[in-house]
Amino acid sequence: MKQNPKTIKQILNISFLSVSIPALILLLVLTCYTISRQIHADQSDTEIQLSQVTTHMEEVLKRSETQLNNLVVPGSPFHSFHYSNTQLEKYQNAYTILQILRPILTQDSCLGGFFLYSKEKSDNCYYPSFQQHYSYEDQKLLKDYFMQPIHLSEERNRWIPFMLSDRVVLIRMIGYDTTICAVMVDPSLDNFSLFAGMSDSDMHLFYASLEGTSYTSEFVTRKLLFPYEDNPVRKITLDKKTYQFISSPVGEYNLQLCCIFPYKGIWSHMNLFQKVLISCMIALLFSISLIGMYLYRKLIYPINTLMETMQKVGNGNLSLRVNDNYDLLELQRFGQTFNEMLTKINDLKLEAYEKKLDLKQAQLQYLQLQIRPHFYLNCLKSLYGMAEKKQYGEIQESILALSEYFRYIFRNNIELVSLEEEIHSVSSYIKLQQLYFSCWPELGIDISADTTDVLVPPLSILTFVENSIKHCQDRSHIKIQLKTAHVSIEQQDYLNITISDNCGGFPLEALNTLNHLEEHDFLYKDYNVGIYNIYYRMKMIYENQSTLAFYNIENQGCVELLIPFRERKIES
């Protein structure tokens, strides 16, 4: 099986790219894998630090719950506070409880305060203890919250988020009926001392519920939601900017610690070596294109130029020469050898053309010698017929017409003649026919004014006029129409000659033969001599630029010639 040949460009591309591209791909994959591992390691470090902070918060919440539970055991000061009979006793017991709880506030920075509340008939006793100063507005919100009707059965055993003016705190309550003790954990008081990443000024750490409600930072007032998902690491969009979001739940509580920082892309996670490596790969990619351009300029382009020149030479333009001034020695020698070969081919072609021209000249001369007896015999037969009829006056007139006609025939018919001269010879022939026969042929001439000086092959019209008269079945009334026109086809000028008669048209078999003269050889035959002579001379003179067509239109036989428009040069 024959394989499709490869070009030098294809071979160079395959050889070069099959090595460089896989190497670059492997290097890129290795670099991306290393960077991804680095990013994963950074995320893991952040998750570990978040987990440490959430573990600390979980311990604070559990420790606060334990301390509350220890306060309400039987015999405790809280038990006495609940069963106090007077306001003084309640105040004394509340003071004792707060004295016990106040040191605990200093142990955990996230503890915002403790609260005691008791409602006896119309008396409300409320005793708060805060770790730091809260605004009057926040203190009033807390007091109103504790003094409203509270059903401990609904609020027991869970931390309740409560909205202050600028943050959300967590409140846990315990007690009897309308006597309660509560602890408030303020996540905003956590200084995140266990989180080393706080050195990044663009990083935001805040607590939120698992549903996504923010408890701290500016996200509280903006009411943005950050719901907890199974994938704790993800990207989010805030203010048309992309951020990295990492969260960690706080034990089994409805609380999560969130970390948000701007997503800086892969480049920020690379070390110096990785950045240099990526830069080198980019440089290699550019170098591939530069090397390709260099190879194209020095090798591919010269070869393409040589191929284009060789193709044009193959199409017949042997005057071209290739450039032999290349940078590559092999291409220089190839160009020089090719030019020398073209020179030798031109010399051989010129020699062969001269021989072919001599042969054509000999064939033309033979055709002229072959066609002249054809006319002579017709004329002699006509004169013989007149002599039999003793038409001596007509014979004399015919001889004068014949002398003028033969003067045109005996000229050098190898050269082209003007259309005006050819039509004059046709008129002379028609006059001879009118003298020979009792019924005169009618000749209608419709000549375009700009075509009279166009050069045509001699006898190119006369031959078809003669055949029309010779092969007409009914000679009682012969009409021959001659028409010429100047036409343009594909920006080329042509002379169109149409000869038609009223003799019934061509037989189908004759049309098939006449329209395929190239498939027959009448050069040395004794039939269809005149028509083939015209066809063969047109082919030799005009090569493939002329057309000879035969067809029938409404019982009329038509012959159409299309030859290049060449005007006669008029000497001054």
Lowest mean pLDDT among 321-335, 466-480, 542-556: 321-335
- Structural domain ending residue among the three candidates 220, 242, 270: 270
Interhelix angle 329-388/392-409, rounded to 10 degrees, is 170
User: Confidence class of residue 242 from pLDDT cuts 50, 70 and 90?
Assistant: confident
**DSSP category for residue 299:** I
Nearest in space to 163 (alpha carbons), one of 130, 187, 132: 187
Q: Are 396 and 263 members of one domain?
A: no
The pLDDT score that the predictor gives to residue 571 is: 46
Over range 347-364, report the average pLDDT.
70
Percent share of the chain, pLDDT over 90: 10
The pLDDT score that the predictor gives to residue 528 is: 64
Residue 309 CB: number of other CB atoms within 10 A? 19
Own/partner pairs, 31-38, CB within 8 angstroms, 24+ separation: 31/274, 31/277, 31/278, 31/281, 34/274, 35/266, 35/269, 35/270, 35/274, 38/269, 38/270, 38/271, 38/274
* pLDDT above 60 (res 572): no
Strand stretches in 312-441, DSSP E: 417-418
The pLDDT score that the predictor gives to residue 198 is: 46
Percent share of the chain, pLDDT over 70: 82
Which of left, alpha, beta for 469 (phi over 0: left; psi -120 to 50: alpha)?
alpha
Answer yes or no: are the C-beta atoms of 114 and 105 closer than 8 Å. Answer: yes
* pLDDT above 90 (res 199): no
* pLDDT above 60 (res 412): no
Q: How distant, in Å, are the alpha carbons of 18, 227, 265, 270, 450 from that of 32?
A: 21, 31, 13, 10, 81
The pLDDT score that the predictor gives to residue 151 is: 56
What is the CA angle 487-488-493, rounded to 5?
90
The pLDDT score that the predictor gives to residue 295 is: 77
Answer yes or no: are the C-beta atoms of 423 and 462 closer than 8 Å. Answer: no
* pLDDT above 90 (res 208): no
pLDDT, tens only, 451-463 = 999 999 888 898 8
* pLDDT above 70 (res 150): no
User: Confidence class of residue 329 from pLDDT cuts 50, 70 and 90?
Assistant: confident
Q: Are 266 and 399 members of one domain?
A: no
Dihedral (CA of 146, 148, 152, 156) sign: negative
Nearest in space to 311 (alpha carbons), one of 323, 320, 299: 320
* pLDDT above 50 (res 197): no
d(CA 536, CA 546): 11
Residue 321 is assigned to a structural domain of this protein: no
Over range 18-40, report the average pLDDT.
75
* Widest pairwise Cα distance in the chain: 178
Residue 501 is assigned to a structural domain of this protein: yes
d(CA 479, CA 465): 10
* pLDDT above 50 (res 350): yes
d(CA 478, CA 503): 7
Average pLDDT, the chain: 79
Which domain covers residue 129, as residue numbers? 1-270
Over range 302-307, report the average pLDDT.
80
Residue 478 is assigned to a structural domain of this protein: yes
pLDDT, tens only, 266-282 = 666 677 777 787 788 77
d(CA 402, CA 432): 7
Residue bearing the bigger pLDDT, 32 or 156: 32
The pLDDT score that the predictor gives to residue 549 is: 94
Beta-bridged to residue 125, according to DSSP, are 118
The pLDDT score that the predictor gives to residue 523 is: 53
User: Confidence class of residue 560 from pLDDT cuts 50, 70 and 90?
Assistant: very high
* pLDDT above 80 (res 20): no
Answer yes or no: are the C-beta atoms of 525 and 536 closer than 8 Å. Answer: no
Over range 290-309, report the average pLDDT.
78
50-59, 200-209, 557-566, range with greatest mean pLDDT? 557-566
Beta-bridged to residue 550, according to DSSP, are 559
What's this model's pTM, rounded to 2 decimal places?
A: 0.45
Residue 109 is assigned to a structural domain of this protein: yes
- Structural domain ending residue among the three candidates 221, 246, 270: 270
The pLDDT score that the predictor gives to residue 154 is: 60
Residue 325 is assigned to a structural domain of this protein: no
Residue 293 is assigned to a structural domain of this protein: no
Residue bearing the bigger pLDDT, 25 or 95: 95
What is the CA angle 298-300-304, rounded to 5?
120
Residue bearing the bigger pLDDT, 405 or 199: 405
d(CA 276, CA 282): 10
- Number of domains into which the chain is organized: 2
Lowest mean pLDDT among 183-187, 325-329, 477-481: 325-329
User: Confidence class of residue 472 from pLDDT cuts 50, 70 and 90?
Assistant: confident
Residue 196 is assigned to a structural domain of this protein: yes
The pLDDT score that the predictor gives to residue 8 is: 65
Interhelix angle 329-388/462-470, rounded to 10 degrees, is 40
Residue bearing the bigger pLDDT, 138 or 222: 138
**DSSP category for residue 454:** B
Q: Which residues of 508-533 are buried (b: 16+ CB within 10 A; e: fewer)?
A: eeebebbeebeeeebeeeeebbbbbb
3-state secondary structure of 321: coil
Phi and psi at residue 245, to the nearest 5°:
-120, 125
* pLDDT above 90 (res 552): yes
d(CA 462, CA 425): 7
pLDDT, tens only, 252-269 = 888 888 888 887 766 666
- Structural domain ending residue among the three candidates 270, 302, 325: 270
The pLDDT score that the predictor gives to residue 269 is: 63
Residue 524 is assigned to a structural domain of this protein: yes
* pLDDT above 60 (res 345): yes
355-369, 384-398, 547-561, range with greatest mean pLDDT? 547-561
The pLDDT score that the predictor gives to residue 548 is: 93
User: Confidence class of residue 124 from pLDDT cuts 50, 70 and 90?
Assistant: confident
